[in-house]
Structures are given as structure tokens and as C-alpha cells.
Amino acid sequence: MIRYLLEFGNNKKLSLAEGLSYIEKNGINNFEINKNYLIFLADKEPIVTFGSILRIARYLCAFDEIESVFEKEFGFSEKIIWSIYPLDSIKHGYTDLYNKIKFKFKTLSKKSVYVSPLSFVDDEKLSVTRGLRKRLDKNGIEIVVTKSDKILLWQTLHYLELNNFRKRDFFRPYKRPEISIPPSLARTMINLAQPRIGSKLLDPFCGTGTILLEAIDEKLNVFGVDINPKNVSGSLLNIAWFNKKSFHNVVCGDSLKLDRIFSCEMFDCIVTEPPFGPPFKKPPKRQFVEKLRSELETFYQKALDSMSCVLKKNGRIVMTFPSWKTSDNGVYDTGIYSIIPESLRIDNSFESYGIKYPIRWYKPDNVIQRLIVVFIKK
């Protein structure tokens, strides 16, 4: 068994929920949670694309075991490009660690090029940019450092795939930014649904097909519905651009009547972002939001009822809801708990680890924020 580490992104609650979903899906029992990362024991390397986890790292050794381990791990390389990335504060130990690693490479008769870190972890922010240091060669060695009772060294295996997310976002042929969800968030939501390869995933408000593309990349069988024929054509165009050979079925239809389109209990999971109403550029008045919220809550309740009909028992619905900043500097959330149908319950599997849905996702300038919720069919 090998120890692996998942580093959290800016939204630590969402990263933790995504990490714990991976743990639960794969039946992993031995794990521990830290402020900035999650550590678990597994018999094989995680082969997964996360949407909110910054990096996956493999345990190398404790600081005092560096001599024997480095010769075994890196003895074959002629030239070593390396860097140190501290996840926990090691203060004065950083210089000692740097000198010892550099000296070890020298004793191995290796040419080494050190790439200095852009910055360290602080208590306020943990940015994706900081997590992805482009100056480090793709074949280089990034040594991640953690500290509990002693300093531990890890080797980075994978980074958050920002470039691939951006390519799928910016280069797909059909775009409508005002109704699109960020691909990295779509991937996170899919991971929260815990599907298996070949699972049937439905997005009943598929829009431009962002969630469908991420699900295809996860080797899922995807189904989409949208009431707008242009969005259906656009989603199909995007799927053809991304992967012509994938299994997909996108139709024009009413998502409040899914049982007229699909068989009962057909889907393993449902991942979706429904309409949020007008795309406000400035915070609206509270009175307007109150009226809009009431209308949308009625719509969402019908949508959840409809989704429940075509979802398998114990299947998950991962769905976003709007939260509005108002002109009086308030924040007005969708009343999620008041619209849950009898057939569904909110997933409370991770409440003992501080995860309670909804999880808020937003950027500082967003007038409309997202509330992410995971439902389970009873």
C-alpha cells in the first residue's frame, strides 16, 4: 500500500468533498484530513481527473530517510530539474532541506537545476496559479513537503488540468458564456456524483454541453435534454468536435417531463445546472429577487420531481442553485431545503468531516453565486 496526497484548491470545502467522494467511491478506509490536503492509502496510483484538487502526490520518505530513497528513485536520471513545494510551514528547515537535497543529487553525480517556488502557502489564499508553476519542466521532480511530527517528502504526480479545461471551454465551436458552467466545476460535480466507467449520466439542462463533454472525458454514456433547439444542435456540434465516437444522446424536450422522454429509473446519476433567471450585471433589488426566487423554487421543485422519476435508487443528483447579491449588500439564497421532494434526501455522508451541502462557489465579482447540492434517491 502506498500513501497519496490530494492538495486542496481555493474552495477547500469543495475540494474536500471531491476528495472524499473519490475515497468513498473506491472503498478507501485509511485516510486523514489536514488543513490543506487529504492523505490516503491505496494499492494503485489514482487515475482520475479532478476539478478542484490542485495536485496528486506520492509519498517518498521522511526527511531523515532521504539518502537511501533518493538513490533508488532518481539514480537513473542524467539531469534532474527539481523544486520544493511546502504545503506546511517548515520555516528555517527549508534551507536545510534545500541544501541536503542539492548535496544528495551532487553525490549521485547528477546535474541538477533548481526551480525556485513562486511563493509559499499562506493562511489566506491558495491559488491555482501558485499550484501550477509553469517553469518546472514536465519531466522535472517537484518535491512536496508536509510536516506533522516530522518532515515528510512527496513527489507530485499530476496537476489540475487547467489547460485542458480551457481548451474545451474556449475552442469548442458552440459557445454561450451567459449560460455556461466552468468545465473545472462541471468535472468536480461529476466526481461528486461518483459514477463508474460506462455509467449513464443525464444533464436535463445541457445548454452548450459543458457537463456532457466532461462526462465523455470520464468515459461515461451521456444523455442531454434542452428545451432550446439551438442548444441541442450546439451541444451535438461540441460533442462531435470533442469526441465523435462517444456514446451520446441529446434531445430537445421539456425537462419537467423527463418520464415522457426516458424510461423509469434509467440513469445512474444526474449532473446539471438549471436556469438561474436573468444574468444580472449589477446587484438587483431584494424585492425583485424575492419574486424571482419564488418562481424559480417552484420550477426547481418540479425539475427535481422529474429527475427523480428517471434516476435509479441510491443514484445521485448533483445540482447548482442560484444565490444573489442584492443592491442592499445582502445575499439571498434559494430555499433548497423547502423544495426537496419526498423521494430525495441531501447527501450527509461527509458531515462528520465538516461538509454540509450546499457548498457555495463563486468569484468575487459574481452577482449570482452558485450553491452546489448533492441529492440521493431514497
Q: Among 270, 370, 286, which residue's Cα sits nearest to residue 320?
A: 370
**Backbone angles phi and psi of 298, in degrees to 5:** -65, -45
- More confident site: 155 or 289: 289
203 Cα distance to chain centroid: 17
pLDDT-derived band at 125, boundaries 50, 70, 90: very low
Tell me which of 129 and 112 has the higher pLDDT: 112
Instruction: Report which of residues 211 and 96 the model is more confident about.
Output: 211
**Whole-number mean pLDDT of the chain?**
89
- For position 144, what pLDDT does the model report? 86
Q: Where does the pLDDT of residue 129 fall: very low under 50, low under 70, confident under 90, or very high at 90 and above?
A: very low
Per-residue pLDDT, 213:
97
pLDDT value of position 140: 67
pLDDT score recorded for residue 91 = 57
Asked whether residue 133 carries a pLDDT value surpassing 70, the answer given is no
> pLDDT tens digits, residue range 238-249?
999 998 788 889
3-state secondary structure the chain: CEEEEEEECCCHHHHHHHHHHHHHHCCCCCEEECCCEEEEEECCCCCCCCCCEEEEEEEEEEHHHHHHHHHHHHCCCCEEEEEEEECCCCCCHHHHHHHHHHHHHHHCCCEEEECCCCCCCCCCCCCHHHHCCCCCCCCCEEEEEEECCCEEEEEEEEECCHHHHHHHHHCCCCCCHHHCCCHHHHHHHHHHHCCCCCCEEEECCCCCCHHHHHHHHCCCEEEEEECCHHHHHHHHHHHHHHCCCCCEEEEECCHHHHHHCCCCCCEEEEEECCCCCCCCCCCCCHHHHHHHHHHHHHHHHHHHHHHHHHEEEEEEEEEEEEEEECCCCCEEECCHHHCCCCCEEECCCCHHHCCCCCEEECCCCCCEEEEEEEEEEC
Mean pLDDT of 36-59: 94
Assess whether pLDDT exceeds 80 at residue 351.
yes
Ordered by where they begin, the domains of the chain are 2-160 (3.30.2130), 163-377 (3.40.50.150)
Q: Sorting pLDDT into bands at 50, 70 and 90, what band is 121?
A: very low
Residue 363 above 90 pLDDT? Answer: no
pLDDT cut 70: percent of the chain above it = 90
Average pLDDT estimate for 249-265: 97
Q: What is the pLDDT of residues 90-119, one digit of tens each?
A: 655 677 778 888 887 777 766 777 777 644
Q: What is the mean pLDDT of residues 305-316?
A: 98
What's residue 126's pLDDT? 41
pLDDT band for position 175 (50/70/90)?
A: very high
